[in-house]
Amino acid sequence: MIKRTGFSRLLFATHYSIKGLRAAFKSEAAIRQELMAMSLLVPTALLLNISTVEKLLLIVSLFIVLITELLNTAIEKLCDHITTDFHELIGRAKDIGSAAVFVSLLLAIITWLSILW
């Protein structure tokens, strides 16, 4: 395996990141739903008559949801690669990943309600 450095490493890392985003978009309905929500909510946040910091908080809260969903998807894919049979620890790992997404969604909802209220 070639250890890349400098600009070459950045190019390859970007390529793999885009590849991961495409794979997640193709295989996960939740990712598609969250991106659809973001495509509506980010412009909404930008158009609201609120401070720049408040706009940033609204948008960042949405990106936190997406990041958490991507990490949860990675956990689920890895678990499914290990086994699709029921295993208590794998089930627990998937549940914890799902809980992380739930908490990030609560954070986004609380942020939006707090700022819009």
The CATH number for 55's domain is 1.10.287.3610
Quickly state the pLDDT bin for 91 (edges 50, 70, 90). Answer: very high
Q: Is residue 1 part of a domain?
A: no
pLDDT at 61: 98
Q: Residue 51 domain-assigned?
A: yes
Contact 90, 83 (CB under 8 A): yes
pTM over 0.85: yes
pLDDT at 6: 87
113 is in an annotated binding site: yes
Average pLDDT, the chain: 95
Q: Residue 3: pLDDT above 90?
A: no
The least confident of 6-10, 46-50, 103-107 is 6-10
Instruction: Give me the mean pLDDT over the 54-71 stretch.
Output: 98
Determine, yes or no, domain membership for 48: yes
**6-27 and 29-47 helices, crossing angle to 10°:** 110
In a domain, 62, yes or no: yes
- Our count of domains for the chain comes to 1
Residue 1 is predicted with a pLDDT of 74
Is 98 part of any known ligand binding site? yes
Q: Is the pLDDT of residue 75 over 90?
A: yes
- Asked whether residue 85 is domain-assigned, the answer is yes
- Residue 88, marked binder: no
Position 13 in a domain: no
Q: Is 6 left (phi over 0), alpha (psi -120 to 50) or beta?
A: left
User: Is residue 4 in a domain?
Assistant: no
> What is the distance of C-alpha 85 from the center of its chain?
26
93 has binding-site annotation: no
Task: Please report the pLDDT score of residue 117 as a whole number.
Answer: 93
Catalytic residue IDs: 69
Is residue 20 a part of any domain in this protein? Answer: no
Q: Which domain holds residue 76?
A: 29-116
